[in-house]
Structure 1
Amino acid sequence: MTNNRVAFVFALGLAVLALFMLSGAEAGTINFPEHSPTDEERLDPAGALSISVTVDADDGDGITSLVAIFENGYEVDLECDDDDCTDPGTGDNIDGIWSTPDTLTAGDTLDEADYGDTEIKYKIEVVFTDGEEGVQPGFGFNETGIRVNTIPE
């Protein structure tokens, strides 16, 4: 009797797994983000900083939220920065490069008390209209290797 129950539960589990696989449901994705400049170790507080990520959404998916979050808690919305993507849009219309606005400065990303010693760190969080969420990296923050000058050059 026990073997029949085990076999039934096993078969039921396989059937549920097969349904998930056959549905073709996939979540939209974001790639590993990039930052610019990449050749600087220090920036003045007013120095320009750019964070970008490539979005690959499923058909019918839109973006509810796509933000860069810095270690000091500052958040900035990413904007469609590619001729291939449109905001708002869905599916292939939002696929492409999304970047921080040109107004983002190095000084925005750190508290003034952290200038000089603390490296700028960030992560990207996305929420798609189907409720799927993504974070790059999964845990912690991306490191830029850039510090903010305490005294502008």
Structure 2
Amino acid sequence: MGTINLARVDDRLIHGQVMTKWTKGFGTNSVYVVDNATAADDFMKDIYVSTNSTGGLSIKVYSATEVAEEWKKDQFGNDKVVIVFKYIKEVKEALAAGLELKSLNIGGISKKPNTDFVIPTVAIGDEERAELKEFHDNGIDVFFQTVPDSKKVEYNSAIK
């Protein structure tokens, strides 16, 4: 059975912080990118998957429902995984399809209209707030943290 070392929402998906900070330790050997648009685009999917040769990690790209199907099949096999979701709504979709998460790190969401910063790197709107509340109320440890050595902000402190 595989292990989910970290589930994270970061609209930049794979970048330096994910590859150099969040994948270190815990024996992580795979990064799963979860973004419906990227999973449907063979060219972009190939770009992400091809990065595994340089970083020593296996990179897989899934839609929200595909990652849930992989989980239900064999709990990710022998992979020790960092899952990076592009959007909170895709976390909700994956959970509804059967993915199980104990915790969720919200680490990077760009400012858009009708959103407010809850930490300096995360801006969310009413829809995202409602989805995060639902996760929290269902027992998922939702926390906000940019990198492992930055301050971890618990859900109740960030969402006021």
TM-score by length of 1: 0.26
Tell me which protein shows more strand as a share of its residues: 1
TM-score by length of 2: 0.25
